[in-house]
Structure 1
Amino acid sequence: MSARRPFALFERGMYLDGQRAVAFVLPATLAGTLDEPRLRLALDRVQARHAVLQSLVEHAADGHPWFVQQEAPPPIALRIVERQGEDDWQEQARLECERLFDGAREPLVRLVWLRGHGRSDLLLSCHHCICDGLSAVGLLRDILTVCGRPDARLGPRFELQGGADVVPPEAKRNRWLQRRAQLKAALFKGFIRLQRIGPPVSYGAAYTLRWSIEPAAVQALVRRAKDEDVGVFAALCTAFMLACWSVRGVRGVDKFVAPVDARRYLPSLQGGALFTMAPTVRLGFGGRKPRAADFWGLAHALQADMRRQVDRLAPAVYEQLLGLERLHPLFDRLIAFSRSRPAGRGVSLSYLGRLDDSSRDEGGLRLEAIHAPSAMLEPTPASLITIVGFAERLDLAFISDESSLPGVQAAQIRQLAMELLQAASALPALATSAPGSASLPVESV
């Protein structure tokens, strides 16, 4: 008998009955020979590792969606397109962000292969209800591993686990934590019931601005950050926060946040499990006045404040996982309420880290680049900055919509942030590049 479980509330909020495009697309460029049978084998091996990829979506009588594991699941979809140029992947990333998944008929992950002679691009498209950025990175790493070494052993297999199932036993036994989760859920129910629901807010056309920081500039940034005892991500956050305030004004941005990998608090998910709930920490300078002349002091304060929040985040994660499930009866009202309130005035900075451990040759295949992921979120992706490090480069994507943040202002923020980094770390001039163009390319998502 196949396993089945209901969607957790945070998964349901991302899935939205499959009627909205809520996707995460991770592109990669490969050198070498790739053939369809081996790629198909890699997808089959990855699917066999994750029960959620062997599942289809069914709806109960009350409208609640369920994952239902299939004894003979349909394969992960593979779409093959002939590669015509170096920048084809950008258009395909845009298309994948707009395409819906049919969860009743196919897994909520698919792959596009831009097939070329000696060079290929792979675009891994994941529904955000089952994958965060690190989930996509893990899937892509497994796919490339099997493409290079078909007999390679992958990590552990993961069964269907609901949100509350992954909470550690000691947290479930904590009566104080359980009471807090119940109280917060009850208060939130009361709050939502009292709110007036207006019409949904409309947003402008979504876009993605892409660029990269070249190796010489990255090396200079890393050296200076190390001297200042500050991480690269803290430096990047500081530059973007100062740039956003300069372009939009202090009141033009409600808040800056960064997602945290929830797996650090959930041992049963460690080792490569697919998971989508990403708690966030609010980015700030600990009361320090934001001045560009104090760049490294600000970065140091931001990093210290971020670490304090991360260290204290575990109870909040457990409370969310335990308490959110009490809100399913109000799901439709929750969604209507969120759509009636303006979004897009915050900025989220998501850093997937350095992925150089995947750059080794695998059976004649060499990973040449991993590009910053694209994303489409509901009701708007505004404003999201994704960052990935690979082969001594940093690749970045700035994703927003024209009403929340006009593309012209996003380009100004990008330019000013890079100038701030250059001034702060003596980066070589003209260290940034945009794929396929000397200008700043703004592509519609």
Structure 2
Amino acid sequence: MRRKLLFAERMLHGNGELPFNAVIPIKIKGTFPEENLYQALRKLQEKHPLLNACVENDARGMPWFVVDEAVTASIPVRITERTGEEDWKNESMQEWSGVFNTRKGPLMRVVWIRGVEFSELILVIHHCLCDGGSAMAILAELLLLMDDGTANIGKEDPIMSIQDIIPAEILKSRKKMIKAKLIGGVATFALWIVPLKKHLVARKKDYMLHWKLEKELSDRLMLKCKSEKVTVNTVLCAAVLQAFQEVRKAGFHNKISCPVDIRRFAPRIKRDHIFAFGLMFVVSADQQLDFFGNARKMQADIDRKTAKLDAYDTIMMMEESHASLNRFTEFLKYGKSSNDCMFSNLGKIDIPHQYKNFELETIFSPSVIGPLGNTTTLVTSTYRGQMDFTFIASEGFIPYTEAVEIQNKIMEIINRL
């Protein structure tokens, strides 16, 4: 199998020498044989060809996912003994900086923090291979197979090109093709004429904050949002922006970027497809309004922007922009950050918690940190009725003490609603 990397995948892969890892930790109550984990990982690789892939450049320097069916490298597992409740945080942060050998593969590994009553598993996957949706699909299948090695998880028919994503009538539309080439060309030209200072922000130490809402508070927040006719996601966006404003003051940009699951707009990308491509919109607050007045205005803005998102146009335009990839990467690295953070809400995670041989006590919200500019990211998800937050940042962008203040402000705002 050979598949050329799409623009977004190339951007996340870079030259393969820097880490850009999605880290997905879970906590399990109960025990399972070591062989069950290895067998489950083998079956995942049997279903998903890209979990066997490495990345090779062709004669023109273009990277391809390559699977050699005659030589399959197993997903590696690192086992460490559990000493306490904080182990998963330390191991997660360690895994941020672990560089995959993308020329050799595979692009996934697992850390097992093994305990007597509780264990944590950490799935680490190169971000060029998967997004949050893919990661949750892999996790669901892994747990099912760990519990029952005979479970049938099917066989993925992998995405091989944009022809597998975009309907032919759109892909061959003369109007769409001209639009993609025009926008791609303009974007490429604009990137080349924008001057960049070749001075990287000193990232300094990376760190993580993690917290959960009690189930009662999670329920109360959801009911309040329903009564105010705004989504939980919008209210959280408003709370995050307010917290950044109150803490950062002159350093506040009033912008957060929000990724959107592309599967909502491109139905050919299935839930269990290994794929890494996100749509994005930017949200700002109206600081003249009260909290829910602002939230309702933000909701209207989000609804408008979501309605305008066009996955097919975006993919086609980006595929016409490969010539500008290096410049775009430089722009992200060296350009002045104008966003406060990226805010990603995975929503309710629909994975069972009770298995025959163990219980999935919790799924911690994933973390991801990469080399492309501002690392400040807040990820939230809801599992078993509890909202969970992971805040990732670097001292060079936001001092740790300010991040703690932002965390506390977000909680103050939520508790007041």
- Give your verdict on TM over 0.5: yes
Deviation at 1:258, TM superposition (A): 0.9
Which of the residues 332, 335, 339 maps onto 2:326?
A: 332
Q: Distance in 2 between matches of 1:183 and 1:9?
A: 17
Write the letter of the residue equivalent to 1:252: F
**Matched-pair contact (CA < 8 Å) for 1:243–1:416:** yes
Q: Distance in 2 between matches of 1:115 and 1:331?
A: 42
Deviation at 1:251, TM superposition (A): 5.9
Moved more, 300-309 or 361-370: 300-309
Q: Distance in 2 between matches of 1:420 and 1:185?
A: 41
The ranges of structure 1 where at least 4 consecutive aligned residues each deviate by more than 6 angstroms after the TM superposition are: none
CA displacement, residues 319-376 of structure 1 (integer Å, 9 cap, x when unaligned): 2311222333343333334322123743211011122x32332221110011121211
Distance 1:131 1:290, change over 3 A: farther
Q: Distance in 2 between matches of 1:115 and 1:155?
A: 29
Q: Distance in 2 between matches of 1:47 and 1:366?
A: 24
Cross-structure match for 2:411:
418
Q: Distance in 2 between matches of 1:336 and 1:300?
A: 37
Which of the residues 306, 311, 319 maps onto 2:307?
A: 311
Q: Does 1:323 align with 2:317?
A: yes
Q: Distance in 2 between matches of 1:163 and 1:250?
A: 43
Moved more, 386-395 or 191-200: 191-200
Deviation at 1:290, TM superposition (A): 4.3
CA displacement, residues 15-34 of structure 1 (integer Å, 9 cap, x when unaligned): 11211110110100001121
Q: Give 1:37-436 correspondences, 5 Å limit.
A: 37-72=35-70, 73-163=72-162, 165-204=164-203, 205-249=205-249, 252-253=252-253, 255-285=255-285, 288-291=286-289, 294-314=290-310, 317-343=311-337, 345-355=339-349, 357-424=350-417
Deviation at 1:382, TM superposition (A): 2.6
**Matched-pair contact (CA < 8 Å) for 1:135–1:274:** yes
Which of the residues 13, 33, 56 maps onto 2:31?
A: 33
Q: Distance in 2 between matches of 1:333 and 1:388?
A: 34
Matched position secondary structure for 1:267: coil
Q: Distance in 2 between matches of 1:65 and 1:200?
A: 27
Q: Distance in 2 between matches of 1:337 and 1:305?
A: 27
TM-score, structure 2 as length reference: 0.94
Q: Distance in 1 between matches of 2:83 and 2:230?
A: 42
Matched position secondary structure for 1:270: coil
Moved more, 75-84 or 158-167: 158-167
Distance 1:168 1:38, change over 3 A: same
**Matched-pair contact (CA < 8 Å) for 2:134–2:271:** no
> Could you list the runs of 5+ residues in structure 1 that have no partner in the other structure?
425-445
**Matched-pair contact (CA < 8 Å) for 1:380–1:401:** no
Q: Distance in 2 between matches of 1:54 and 1:353?
A: 29
Matched position secondary structure for 2:278: coil
**Matched-pair contact (CA < 8 Å) for 2:255–2:338:** no
Matched position secondary structure for 1:207: strand
Identity %: 29
Moved more, 149-158 or 396-405: 149-158
> Could you list the runs of 5+ residues in structure 2 that have no partner in the other structure?
none
Write the letter of the residue equivalent to 1:412: E
Distance 1:250 1:158, change over 3 A: farther
Deviation at 1:117, TM superposition (A): 1.3
**Matched-pair contact (CA < 8 Å) for 2:137–2:271:** no
Q: Distance in 2 between matches of 1:332 and 1:224?
A: 46
Moved more, 205-214 or 342-351: 342-351
Distance 1:64 1:304, change over 3 A: same
TM-score, structure 1 as length reference: 0.88
**Matched-pair contact (CA < 8 Å) for 2:159–2:165:** no
Considering only aligned residues, what root-mean-square deviation do their CA atoms show, in Å? 2.0
Distance 1:115 1:248, change over 3 A: same
Deviation at 1:58, TM superposition (A): 1.1
Q: Distance in 1 between matches of 2:278 and 2:212?
A: 25
